[in-house]
Structure 1
Amino acid sequence: MDFEYFSILELTLSLKQVSKKSNTRTYTTSIKFNSTQRWKLFKEPIIQYDSTKLRANKLLEQTSTTKDRSDYLWYTLRFKQSQPKAKSDLNVYTHGHQVHAFVNGIYVASAHGSHKNTMYTLQTTVPLVQGTNNVSLLSVMVGLPDSGAFLERRFSGLRRVSIQGTDFTKYQWGYQVGLLGEGQQIYTAASSIRLQWGMYGSSGSQPLTWYKTTFDAPAGNDPLALNMNSMGKGEIWVNGQSIGRYWISFRTQQGNPSQSWYHVPRSFLRPKGNLLIILEEQTGDPLGITLDIVTADGQS
């Protein structure tokens, strides 16, 4: 009976014509955001030790500290240097997905891991001034593991920090969960109006910058997507709704980003004056962003 049943089933399937929609898509640019006049920016403050309230004499585990309220955790310290040094070694060993380093409020370097290398070290040289120096390290996670053995024992965030051979792992650290823009909900219209935004300058983008613009919804009902290929890493909001994180600078073995277009649901849009907010962690160029209309190329 089993053999007879499967023979009949195979014959039935062979006589059927199965059709499906094509996976081929065409992206037609509808709006270019290539004018500096379109954009305004807000620079995320670099948190330093004096402005922190949470403190500990060790490096805290990130996930248990943020309690999933944010992808971001600031690790900050201050120390005195008797003599200025133009080049001092900074080594940050971390289990976070990415880390950005700032010394005395100035960006110095970033590093990230990979699927195969989740534990990595940021190594760079930094300038130290005579007197008090402030080191601010922003540890970034991109989602959390949801399965696997010993999940409760997994450690995220910084593990060891040394500067010019001195181990600061068990030093007095100050912490802040999240970014100021997150706490202020800068991506909503009401909060966006309250903040002081600057004009987009000709000097190019800087790390940890929020960008703001508005646009009108393209006519029709075809799907829409933002082409973010000119950006680095961050998150996108349309009218206060997140449409996802992006990480264009993280490339595949072929040298391409895993994703460049990000769907903008029509249901999020108004006919006029839609608010687009972008958090860029790195040095992406918002002038290269476009809003594209997506069409399917026939059926097979």
Structure 2
Amino acid sequence: MTRGGVSDDPTDTTTPPPLTGVKGDETVIKDLSLHSWKYRTGLQGLDHELLFSERSPYASRQRSGGSMALNTSMTWYKIIFKAPLGTEPVVVNLSDMGKGEALFNGMSISSFVADKNGCTVGPYTHRGQYAGSKCLTNYGQPTQILYHVPWSFLRDDDNTLVLFEELGGNPSYVNFETISIGKAYGNAYEGNTLELSCEQRPIFAINFTSFGTCGAFVEGSCKGDKDALNILS
């Protein structure tokens, strides 16, 4: 069976191999090429909770603190965690994983590829025709390690993260982070009031403000006698 067509299959397997079995003393060969094939996305074991459900007899459980299987391919990991506090955007750091899929409470945040072997450690020349092996920056590092977790995927109580690792990784270092917004801008005309808030948390400092083009973060041309930063302070 080819994956993505003959051009994408390095083994050039144009027809499925025969299925061989034994029935008594007789060897039975079934030619799969004579049957119709259907394409289906996802994993049946995942849909029916055969691999990570508490009720599944196929799941091999390992409690925290024990000898967990690390850096092994085709391995499932299940983690129970509490949602981070606050309302800021949440991301999960998968820098120590390899390649696979992450699911929060049964909902996928897409596949992840955190493998560090994609680029050769620099310095590297970028002359000539572009190729995927030419890294733009961060030689020897994965292209992405932080993956967004929508708040709609998370619960107030316990949450479940399931990782399906294809290449091999270490889930011990998987952690969650919140992303803070560091810039804000708004329009306020003369005689009106502009209020700043930070999700009921204190604002420690305002580094730049000016009368001018909203969102430009450069000194405006309509600067008055009273500087905007002094007014806010």
* d(CA) in 1 for partners of 2:17, 2:76: 30
Deviation, 1:172, is 3.8
1:295 is aligned, of 171, 180, 183, to 180
- State the partner residue of 1:198: 61
- State the partner residue of 1:52: none
- The SS at the match of 1:230 is coil
Q: Percent identity?
A: 28
- State the partner residue of 1:251: 118
Does residue 225 in structure 1 map to residue 91 in structure 2?
yes
2:4 is aligned, of 63, 68, 72, to 63
Change in Cα spacing, 1:259 to 1:197, as seen in structure 2 (3 Å) is same
More helix by share: 1
* d(CA) in 2 for partners of 1:157, 1:294: 40
Question: Greater CA radius of gyration, 1 or 2?
Answer: 2
Deviation, 1:240, is 0.8
- Residue type matched to 1:223 in 2? P
* d(CA) in 1 for partners of 2:7, 2:96: 33
Q: Kindly indicate whether structure 1 or structure 2 has the higher relative contact order, using CA contacts under 8 Å at least 6 residues apart.
A: 1
- Residue type matched to 2:89 in 1? P
1:285 is aligned, of 170, 175, 179, to 170
* d(CA) in 1 for partners of 2:173, 2:150: 21
* d(CA) in 2 for partners of 1:170, 1:244: 30
Does residue 185 in structure 1 map to residue 126 in structure 2?
no
* d(CA) in 2 for partners of 1:190, 1:279: 10
- The SS at the match of 2:143 is coil
Structure 2, unmatched stretches of 5+, are: 20-31, 120-134, 185-216, 218-233
Change in Cα spacing, 1:258 to 1:222, as seen in structure 2 (3 Å) is same
* d(CA) in 1 for partners of 2:52, 2:77: 14
Instruction: Tell whether the 8 Å contact from 2:101 to 2:165 is kept in structure 1 after alignment.
Output: yes
Change in Cα spacing, 1:189 to 1:170, as seen in structure 2 (3 Å) is closer
- Residue type matched to 1:236 in 2? A
The TM-score normalised by the length of structure 1 is 0.41
- The SS at the match of 1:296 is coil
Does residue 272 in structure 1 map to residue 143 in structure 2?
no
Structure 1, unmatched stretches of 5+, are: 1-59, 65-153, 162-168
